[in-house]
A and B are shown apart, each in its own frame.
Chain A
Amino acid sequence: MNESARLEVVGRPARRKDAREKVRGKAGYTTDISLPGMLHAKALRSAIAHARLVGIDASAARELPGVHAVLTGDGIGDDIAPTYGYFIKDQPIVALDKVRYEGDTVAAVAAETEAIADAALRLIKVEYEELPPVASIEDALSDGAAELFEEAPMGIVPAYGTGASAELRPRPNVCYRFNYETGSPDVFETCDHVFEDTFHFSRMQHFHLEPFAAVAQWLDGDRIEVSTSCQNPFALRKELGRVFKLPENSISVRVPFVGGGYGSKNNCKAEPIAILLARMTGRPVRFALTHDENFLTNTQHAAVLKLKTGVMNDGTLVARDSEIFLDSGAYSDASPLVAEKAGYRIPGPYRYRHIRTSCDCVMTNTAPAGPFRGFGGTQTSWACESQMDMIADRLGMDPLEFRMKNLIDLGEPFVPGESGMDSDLRAGLELVAREIGYHDRKKNPVPNRGVGLALGFKDGGGVNKPAQARIKVSTFGDIFLHCGTVEIGQGAHSALSAVVAEILGAPAGRVRYMPINTDHTPYDQGTNASSAISVMGQAVERAARSLRAQVLDFAADRLGAEPQDLDLEDWHIRKGNEALPLAPMIMGHFGGTGWEFTADGFHKAETDHSAPLETQCVFWELGWGAADIEVDPDTGLITVHKLVVSGDAGQAINPLVCRGQDEGAAIMGLGQALFEEMVYDGTRLMNGDAFAYRVPMAQDLPAEFVSITQEQGHGPGPFGAKGMGEGGMLPVAPAIANALFDATGVRVAALPLSPPRVKAALAKNS
């Protein structure tokens, strides 16, 4: 059956399910929750980057009228595991013995109003003994550098497959190192050229508009109920269970609409403090950070990437050896996972005979870095795609031709043991090259104007992500979809509902995506890694197909027909020319009371030791990009005349939503390329608020901005769909840097490509 020929719901530019709520201001977010008796929490932070905590005196704050509790490290008892983290449990709920960055949480207050909580914070006295600060990767790795952790915190290394390994704390100030190797390094000897280049990657803030926020209460003194702005409620529940030493059925995590995350809203953020203060006060507690505090809570990873690439005269890539250093900030957060991905993705989607990489998570006295759209792939695409153009130039080859020669074929494994490439990489590259006018670019050259290409690459769908879904349909055909994918803006609730509607032959409006509550919602590992459609979509698809089969079997029994002769259409059974309503059939059979059909679906990529990351990649996420830019040599200012990005949706469930994902990601990439950056002066963040930190605005859109959603049809998801959401960000910065080289012959290997940096590079060259 050629399914896409007869799709009714999937593939249409329909209104999203959340459209009416969101355009009318009716969508509920965690920050909108208000419970009777609710208190408000605020946190005191350290203004010193690195210090031993000598003492805290919170007595005056406790006595302030309206204050209900003050939480400090010395108030945390043995009934609580005081630190959390992903692989490494190093981040305290509030500082215990040390503070490790400017902004580290020292104490928290719960009070009747935010204003009283603010006033109470001013009364807390903290005594610090300052320690030497560690500001950067270079600082942290230098001889005699102060150590953020004198002893290794508790941590684990997960099982890896062929060629991959990791170690905890391989050296001081490095909390985790990921390694990967395949093929023999001897092939370097056979190379005509070996090129070594170093790239620097700047650090952005996620800048989600809804801050980190949680509203917590204790029920009957021993059960936690927390509503939170969070991307992975089940992983959070598990961590909260460990911290609060509670069984998971005593913790209910609820997630309403989430006002943006871009990676940051994974794992513990506002929740532990809200929960602890709720326990101390016996009242519901709301802890909503201010937007400025987001900058102090989670960031992207700055990075240094050293690439050594062996290549033949004819442009055949042979070997790549990479060393990556991620600035992880003061706590490990998701750094080990990002290191794993950065280390794995650094070769790019090209064929080599030998790959070796190591990726270190370097601890510094700056805000903790964590997951960020692209998850290490933005860093590696920046370095890899910049170096591709550099090598092409050194070999006297055209950068497009050089890439075409080395790209992995459709179906070819990325590395031994991996799944095959599920997009035609050359077709995508040729598409954006044509759109930007790459082939004609030398016909009428304009001084200081140039064109560049890049191909962003990451493995998508996440590693070890089991996903479960449940569908119920009532007697009258009302459909309940239960699954844990969080609606964070990506349109997942609409897309997953569309898959159900399509399979059950129902109008999209019949499906309701039920509120997420870990007590009832089937298990999901998290809304990240562009996994909603590619992983959860498969679970939902299975549940829907199983439910459909149940209904057809039921009707076949009633009608004395064979199920394959029946079809399901808007809760009617289609049998030849007849359309028989299901409701009376169900009522008749169940004695007039009614009934619900229920079906579950599950998906997880199989464990596979031959795959380096223990499971084969679910799908490959690509972002093809091209830029046409002009640089003003007098000022160093880059103007992007045209930006083209393209992703492969496999099959677009909703083309408008796919377009939005690529465009949103691309403009984030544009900010990173040109100006957006957390500026540190030593360990002090100089632009940690919305006014000082510049994000792209509508005025920053390039004169021409083209996004093309490809639908190559090779994805693992329902109807051939692949995930989207991150790919569009990956190629933008390297495409612009490559265009700058095309325009001027000058290579800038650090971000952002700000006027002062570009002008300095131009001056050095002339």
Chain B
Amino acid sequence: MSDTVSITCTVNGEPVAADVPASTTLADFIREACGLTGTKIACGHAVCGACTIHLDGVPVASCSAYAFEADGSEIRTVEGLEDADGELDPVQAAFADLSAFQCGYCTSGMIMLARALLDRDPNPSGETIRKWLSSNICRCTGYEMIVEAVARAAEAANPGTMR
């Protein structure tokens, strides 16, 4: 039993060690302790997915998880997608090229969700893309262009194999 927890984890591949109150949400840990504000908080209770990150590869609403769960884990956020040279991940590139964003507040979460999908299924059908994207809310775009961007990202990574 304790009210402070020690966390050792990696964030976007970098080792991080910190002592935080047990009540710290994963989102606050990422935004405040790690200073990575690309992860957005909107609804604050697991509904909208603006705060989606990967916890050991699983897309998780970080507003509704606690930092203590990350102990011994790998955290990946939107800031960890581009490579060392600043080259965008295919999902990011497709969102940029196809304007699959407007205000941008849902975008980090949408991109992380889409990345998690493509990590599991590099060639998703249109239906699978829609099903996955139905986890997160975008109030601006009407979704169609986001669905197209995810299909484009899959296509870019696996030319010619789109279902």
Q: Which of B101, B107, B139, B141 contacts A208 (CB 8 A)?
A: B139
A-binding segment of B1-9, B34-42, B67-75: B34-42
In the complex, what's the smallest C-beta–C-beta distance from B28 to chain A, in angstroms?
A: 10
Do B102 and A25 have beta carbons less than 8 Å apart?
Answer: no
1/0 per residue, CB under 8 A from B, across A1-35: the answer is 00000000000010110111111111111011000
Kindly name the residue among B39, B107, B131 whose own CB sees the greatest number of chain A CB atoms within 10 A: B107
With an 8 A cutoff between CB atoms, is B88 at the interface?
yes
With an 8 A cutoff between CB atoms, is A262 at the interface?
yes
Q: Tell me the bound Cα distance from A257 to B105 in angstroms.
A: 9
1/0 per residue, CB under 8 A from B, across A286-306: the answer is 000011100000000000000
Q: Tell me the bound Cα distance from A402 to B59 in angstroms.
A: 52
1/0 per residue, CB under 8 A from B, across A699-720: the answer is 1010001010000000000000
With an 8 A cutoff between CB atoms, is B98 at the interface?
yes
User: Which residue of chain B has the shortest Cβ distance to A661 in the bound complex?
Assistant: B102
Q: Which of A694-748 contact B (CB under 8 A)?
A: 695-699, 701, 705, 707
Q: Tell me the bound Cα distance from A20 to B104 in angstroms.
A: 11
Do A25 and B137 have beta carbons less than 8 Å apart?
Answer: no
Do A15 and B45 have beta carbons less than 8 Å apart?
Answer: no
With an 8 A cutoff between CB atoms, is A666 at the interface?
yes
1/0 per residue, CB under 8 A from A, across B83-118: the answer is 000001000110111110111111110010000000
At the interface, is chain B mostly helix, strand, loop or mixed?
loop
Q: Which of A653-679 contact B (CB under 8 A)?
A: 654, 656-657, 659-660, 663-668
Q: Tell me the bound Cα distance from A26 to B145 in angstroms.
A: 21
In the complex, what's the smallest C-beta–C-beta distance from B16 to chain A, in angstroms?
A: 17
State whether A660 and B99 are in contact (beta carbons under 8 Å apart), knowing that A22-B104, A23-B107, A690-B43 are contacts in the complex: yes
**Interface size counted on chain B using CB atoms at 8 A:** 50
User: Which residue of chain B has the shortest Cβ distance to A34 in the bound complex?
Assistant: B32
Q: Tell me the bound Cα distance from A689 to B45 in angstroms.
A: 9
With an 8 A cutoff between CB atoms, is A490 at the interface?
yes
> In the assembled complex, which residues on chain A have CB atoms less than 8 Å from the CB atom of B143?
667, 696-698, 701
Q: Tell me the bound Cα distance from A31 to B134 in angstroms.
A: 25
Q: Tell me the bound Cα distance from A656 to B108 in angstroms.
A: 20
User: Which residue of chain B has the shortest Cβ distance to A257 in the bound complex?
Assistant: B104
Q: Tell me the bound Cα distance from A28 to B41 in angstroms.
A: 13
Do A489 and B45 have beta carbons less than 8 Å apart?
Answer: no
With an 8 A cutoff between CB atoms, is A368 at the interface?
no
Q: Which of A437-493 contact B (CB under 8 A)?
A: 488-491
Q: Tell me the bound Cα distance from A657 to B145 in angstroms.
A: 10
> In the assembled complex, which residues on chain A have CB atoms less than 8 Å from the CB atom of B92?
23-24
Interface size class, chain A? 35 or more
With an 8 A cutoff between CB atoms, is A608 at the interface?
no
Q: Which of A257, A491, A690 contacts B48 (CB 8 A)?
A: A690
Do B45 and A209 have beta carbons less than 8 Å apart?
Answer: no
State whether A660 and B139 are in contact (beta carbons under 8 Å apart), knowing that A18-B104, A22-B107, A210-B105 are contacts in the complex: no
> In the assembled complex, which residues on chain A have CB atoms less than 8 Å from the CB atom of B134?
697-699
Q: Which of B23, B38, B43 contacts A26 (CB 8 A)?
A: B38
Do A209 and B96 have beta carbons less than 8 Å apart?
Answer: no
Kindly name the residue among A21, A25, A656, A691 whose own CB sees the greatest number of chain B CB atoms within 10 A: A25
Q: Which of B23-58 contact A (CB under 8 A)?
A: 23, 36-45, 47-48, 50
With an 8 A cutoff between CB atoms, is B11 at the interface?
no
State whether A698 and B103 are in contact (beta carbons under 8 Å apart), knowing that A663-B141, A689-B45 are contacts in the complex: no
Do A210 and B42 have beta carbons less than 8 Å apart?
Answer: yes
Do A25 and B105 have beta carbons less than 8 Å apart?
Answer: no
Do B130 and A699 have beta carbons less than 8 Å apart?
Answer: yes
Do A690 and B146 have beta carbons less than 8 Å apart?
Answer: no
With an 8 A cutoff between CB atoms, is B19 at the interface?
no
In the complex, what's the smallest C-beta–C-beta distance from B79 to chain A, in angstroms?
A: 5
With an 8 A cutoff between CB atoms, is B133 at the interface?
yes
With an 8 A cutoff between CB atoms, is A258 at the interface?
yes
In the complex, what's the smallest C-beta–C-beta distance from A36 to chain B, in angstroms?
A: 14
Q: Tell me the bound Cα distance from A666 to B145 in angstroms.
A: 13
User: Which residue of chain A has the shortest Cβ distance to B23 in the bound complex?
Assistant: A115
Q: Which of A19, A28, A115, A291 contacts B96 (CB 8 A)?
A: A19
Q: Which of A31, A660, A697 contacts B41 (CB 8 A)?
A: A31
State whether A698 and B147 are in contact (beta carbons under 8 Å apart), knowing that A24-B82, A25-B37 are contacts in the complex: yes
Q: Which of B137-163 contact A (CB under 8 A)?
A: 137, 139-147
> In the assembled complex, which residues on chain A have CB atoms less than 8 Å from the CB atom of B106?
209
With an 8 A cutoff between CB atoms, is B77 at the interface?
yes
With an 8 A cutoff between CB atoms, is A207 at the interface?
yes
With an 8 A cutoff between CB atoms, is A625 at the interface?
no
With an 8 A cutoff between CB atoms, is A329 at the interface?
no
With an 8 A cutoff between CB atoms, is A428 at the interface?
no
With an 8 A cutoff between CB atoms, is A211 at the interface?
yes
User: Which residue of chain A has the shortest Cβ distance to B129 in the bound complex?
Assistant: A698
With an 8 A cutoff between CB atoms, is A636 at the interface?
no
Kindly name the residue among B42, B44, B96 whose own CB sees the greatest number of chain A CB atoms within 10 A: B42
With an 8 A cutoff between CB atoms, is B60 at the interface?
no
Do A491 and B141 have beta carbons less than 8 Å apart?
Answer: no
State whether A207 and B107 are in contact (beta carbons under 8 Å apart), knowing that A656-B99, A691-B47, A697-B134 are contacts in the complex: no
In the complex, what's the smallest C-beta–C-beta distance from A530 to chain B, in angstroms?
A: 14
Do A690 and B144 have beta carbons less than 8 Å apart?
Answer: no
With an 8 A cutoff between CB atoms, is A260 at the interface?
yes
Q: Tell me the bound Cα distance from A666 to B143 in angstroms.
A: 11
State whether A23 and B88 are in contact (beta carbons under 8 Å apart), knowing that A209-B139, A699-B134, A701-B143 are contacts in the complex: yes
Q: Tell me the bound Cα distance from A260 to B105 in angstroms.
A: 8
> In the assembled complex, which residues on chain B have CB atoms less than 8 Å from the CB atom of A22?
95-96, 101, 104, 107
Contacts beyond the supplied A209-B137, A292-B44, A664-B142: 17 A-B pairs with Cβ under 8 Å: A19-B97, A19-B99, A25-B77, A28-B37, A115-B23, A209-B103, A260-B103, A292-B43, A489-B101, A656-B99, A659-B99, A660-B140, A663-B142, A666-B142, A668-B142, A690-B137, A707-B144
Would you give 10 A-B contacts (Cβ < 8 Å), ordered by A?
Answer: A15-B96, A22-B107, A24-B79, A25-B79, A207-B137, A209-B42, A260-B103, A654-B99, A691-B47, A698-B147
Q: Which residues of A contact B (CB under 8 A)?
A: 13, 15-16, 18-29, 31-32, 115, 206-211, 257-260, 262, 290-292, 488-491, 654, 656-657, 659-660, 663-668, 689-691, 695-699, 701, 705, 707
Q: Which residues of B contact A (CB under 8 A)?
A: 23, 36-45, 47-48, 50, 77-79, 81-82, 88, 92-93, 95-99, 101-108, 111, 130-131, 133-134, 137, 139-147
